[in-house]
Structure 1
């Protein structure tokens, strides 16, 4: 979910890293130093980052990695359920919790850029029904809802400001 005033980001980061290590160990796949660095770069913030944003972050710490290296790490991390791709932004965000089933919905703040992630078991049926009515057989779904996060709403941001129409 979105960061809030009592959000302990250090615990969030360390929990996600521990989950990544244990997930990879359980599956018998390597959680390499490069993959860890990419995940750590994403864990710096709850704002989705593009591959090139990640390259820039990692270049601040050492040699500038090649784009293919970052894309391979993102593909691996995504395949393990450790990061999610935000399709509409062509960016990635670390997954900070274990999914208990259900459809994942991304809540994207138009003002501050933050991304929140929620799941709902109640969405799978209606989505399948809508697709079936159209004679469509879905393979996967990506639900992204744009709007304002609670912090931006509390700050009094208007809809026009959120859409960049100041």
Structure 2
């Protein structure tokens, strides 16, 4: 998957929010830009530290509210297993992500696995379980870190 450059991603994010009647405020856009600048999975405290370095004082609830908004509107994924966030590269489609995390270099890739994860949700439903989210994380080695 080709990653959009940060400026292009931010422009696409603004259009994405506007099309859904949501507002990507300057603060939300700044926090999204900070996540993009770090790349991969970013922890909230890293975003807070970066925001404080640029703007002085910033309160943790401010950052968490912005991150929640960005997740709610499909601009970020919350990666619970890594206690962090990463940019969603599929802004224009409804999907369930499969996040691939390299255990060696920590690179994270996102792929659209909607059909496979829909099957998994169906099996869960047959067992009487209703999943809230279907982003799944797999760890292993990326192609660059695999032994030759």
- TM-score normalised by the shorter chain: which range applies? 0.7 to 0.9
Indicate if the aligned counterparts of 2:42 and 2:86 stay in contact, CA closer than 8 A: yes
Can you give the 5+ residue segments of structure 1 that lack an aligned partner in the other structure? 2-6, 158-166
TM-score by length of 1: 0.78
State yes or no: 1:59 paired with 2:52: yes
Which aligned pairs between 1:98-117 and structure 2 lie closer than 5 A? 98-117=91-110
Provide TM-score, normalisation by structure 2: 0.86
Classify 1:133/1:94 alpha carbon distance in 2 versus 1 (closer, same or farther; 3 Å). same
The answer (yes or no) to whether the contact 2:97–2:112 under 8 Å persists in 1 is yes
CA-CA distance at 1:31 after TM superposition: 1.3
Task: Find the aligned partners of 2:57 and 2:107 in 1 and give their Cα distance.
Answer: 26
- Note if contact 1:77-1:83 (Cα within 8 Å) is conserved in structure 2: yes
Please tell me whether the aligned partners of residues 95 and 113 of structure 2 are also in contact (alpha carbons under 8 angstroms): yes
Alignment size in residue pairs: 148
Change (3 A) 1:105 1:28: same
Q: 1:31 to 1:101 in 2, by over 3 A?
A: closer
Q: Residue by residue, what CA displacement relative to the aligned partner does 1:58-77 show, whole Å, maximum 9, x if unpaired? A: 22222131110000000111
CA contact (8 A) 2:31 2:67 kept: yes
Q: CA deviation at 1:85?
A: 0.5
Which one of 21, 30, 35 corresponds to residue 28 of structure 1? 21
**Distance in 1 (alpha carbons) for counterparts of 2:128 and 2:78:** 27
> CA RMSD for the aligned pairs?
2.1
Q: Classify 1:75/1:125 alpha carbon distance in 2 versus 1 (closer, same or farther; 3 Å).
A: closer
Report how far residue 128 of structure 1 moved. Answer: 2.7
Change (3 A) 1:77 1:152: same
Residue segments in structure 2 that go unaligned for 5+ positions in a row: none
